[in-house]
Amino acid sequence: MFVDPRTPSHAVPSKFSAFLTLLSVVFAVPSKDPAPEVKESINPPRGWTLRSAAPSHHTIELRIGLPQPDFPVLEKHLYEVSDPFHERYGQHLTKAEVEALVAPHQESIDAVSEWLATHGIGESDIQRSPARDWVTIKVPITLAEKMLDTTYHVWTHDASGDSIVRTTSYSLPKHLHPHIDVIQPTTMFARFKGYKSTIHDIDRSPSLPAFTGDSTNSGAVIDPSCNTTITISCLRQLYSVPSDFTPSAHVGNSVGITGYLEQFANRQDLQSFYADQKPQAVGSTFNFVSVKGGLNDQNASNAGVEANLDVQFAFGLSFPVNSTFFSTAGRPPFIPDIGTPTDTNEPYTDWLDFILAQEKPPLAISTSYGDDEQSPKASPDGLVQDLPSLVHCEFKIPSDGGVGDGDDNPATQTCLTNDGKNQTKFIPGFPASCPFVTAVGGTEFIEPEIGVFFSGGGFSNFFARPSYQDKAVGKFLSALPKGTFEGLFNPNGRAIPDVAAQGERFRVFVGGQVVSVAGTSASSPAFTGIVALLNDVRLRAGQPPLGFLNPLLYTIPEGFNDITIGNNPGCGTEGFNATTGWDAVTGLGTPNFSKLRDLVIRK
């Protein structure tokens, strides 16, 4: 009689129970592991120099990703509840339902646990994600090297001097390969950074021109001062938010901002910003949530330009919607000395772990951080599988750096692949290139509003174009002259950006001073503030929040101001041009709230 060792014991006749136990032990714990086989190997990445062996005192936090066999089912659910033409539109999955769909098979959990046990790592040493699809352990570098049959080194990024501890290859026993998708940090050489362009000036005695009633291509009437200084009032005028529209604080709406790299959001600066631009919000503030020990130092000298920009505009636009600032600890560069024995430069995955464990994450979240798509490698190591799990919220990511490699100066972009081939390619940003987030490009000026030069745009080299983009992006590609940028981009890839918003000359308070800030890291919180207003419209109408936006956005292009001027140079080219309809500079365009309000309420 054959007995499947996965069959529950209560389903097996008692006389076979002892035999079943023996089979389980034999199959689960081989008497001797075969020789390790390479699980992953890469060429030494371009732009990084091997400096030294990893210090023996170093502690590394390994994240082990287990297979998610039902992930395609989760993806199917995500698209159904996000498709405005599907009968399930808006019927978002619960956290428990999502976790059930990303949970690994028990045999994978057992195989990994048993392997860890052979290295002296017990259950009390393990942190598991809510769905048990991620295992996190902290181990000495010497043990990690033994477990993975590898050698770690300290690598230094040539341009910035940032240092990380990584390897270019690791191995696992053959029987574990089907049970482990990825282990990091190993081969991921990402430089997590902000998508801010430059601080242009310090404006100590600002004066704003009088309102004269000019109009723009959005049909709104705009104060001409918005050509030189972007304020909350400018964004509301430019994107057609009625002057008498105020969202509710009592319908369960929420908005969030992520903070990394010791970027602190200063509450006093927020009060100064509100006094200057949103007087009715003076005295209000945001919720602060620490992730992995993240701080929010309120010393004025430590106020972060990025953090202040994000909270002031996202929360200012959406006031009085419930607002949260998340600060996640950890930052590069890692300095391998006795004072910093633990490498903590993986804050992005730490935040994802945290937010996926929450019952009610904010309904719209903006992050202004990321990296070149090729830095996290071909599969950004589980991040892509984590992002669709945020089915209750919409995630905004800026898209910066033109068509180049994220360098704000097109003249210094290298645009070479880091796969050992050193090919010249347009290099999009990640996670903007992930099909499960909304990528936001940048614009400037008001008459007319045009695509700004640093607006990141192009096509993913790793992620296929999602079906929701086929019509709009296909039209853009068919209009490109034959041979345009041939070989420099992947025409079948996920296209970015999806939308755009102003990205220049934002009036921000930092350390008690007024500064002017540029970058798509300004565009992302601005667009997120508009999304929070749209969620208010739906919630007050008794409808569910928008959730994952992209499938909806591409069905309502009439809700956007089409931007037809501008380009995003890089890699020795002029980049793509803004044009009628979707384009790889400004996406569908900038939001027209008055039109979108009617469109989203009908869905």
User: Tokens standing for 348?
Assistant: 């992005």
> Going by C-beta distance under 8 Å and a sequence separation of 6 or more, which residues neighbour residue 273?
308, 312, 316, 508, 509
Give the 3-state DSSP-derived string for 16-38, with helices as H, strands as E and coil as C: HHHHHHHHHHHHHCCCCCCCCEE
Check if 521 is active-site: yes
Burial of 553 per CB tally in 10 Å (0-12, 13-18, 19+): buried
Alpha helix (H) ranges present in 460-577?
470-479, 520-540, 550-553
Alpha helix (H) ranges present in 29-175?
71-82, 95-102, 106-118, 141-148
Query: 459 - beta bridge partners?
Result: 495
Alpha helix (H) ranges present in 93-242?
95-102, 106-118, 141-148, 232-238
- Please identify which of the residues 306, 346, 407, 444 carries the catalytic annotation: 306
Does residue 58 contact residue 141 with C-beta atoms inside 8 Å? yes
Could you give the 3-state DSSP secondary structure of residue 384?
A: helix
What is d(CA 415, CA 413) in angstroms, rounded to the nearest whole number? Answer: 6
- Please identify which of the residues 310, 400, 407, 504 carries the catalytic annotation: 310
Query: Does 563 show up as a binding residue in the annotation?
Result: yes
Check if 284 is active-site: no
What is d(CA 595, CA 506) in angstroms, rounded to the nearest whole number? Answer: 25
**Interior CA angle at 137 toward 133 and 141, to 5°?**
135
Query: Does 581 show up as a binding residue in the annotation?
Result: yes
- Please identify which of the residues 318, 368, 455, 521 carries the catalytic annotation: 521
Number of helices followed by number of strands (H, E) in the chain? 14, 29
Query: 313 - beta bridge partners?
Result: none
What is d(CA 81, CA 93) in angstroms, rounded to the nearest whole number? Answer: 8
Could you give the 3-state DSSP secondary structure of residue 242?
A: coil
What is d(CA 129, CA 127) in angstroms, rounded to the nearest whole number? Answer: 7
What is d(CA 447, CA 456) in angstroms, rounded to the nearest whole number? Answer: 22
How long, in residues, is the chain?
603
Evaluate the omega torsion of the peptide bond into residue 36 and state whether it is cis, within 30 degrees of 0.
no
Does residue 364 contact residue 438 with C-beta atoms inside 8 Å? no
CA 66 to chain centre: 21
First and final C-alpha spacing in the chain: 57
Burial of 28 per CB tally in 10 Å (0-12, 13-18, 19+): middle
Check if 346 is active-site: no
Per the annotation, binding residues for Ca(2+) are 562-563, 581, 583
Per the annotation, binding residues are 562-563, 581, 583
The catalytic residue positions are 306, 310, 521
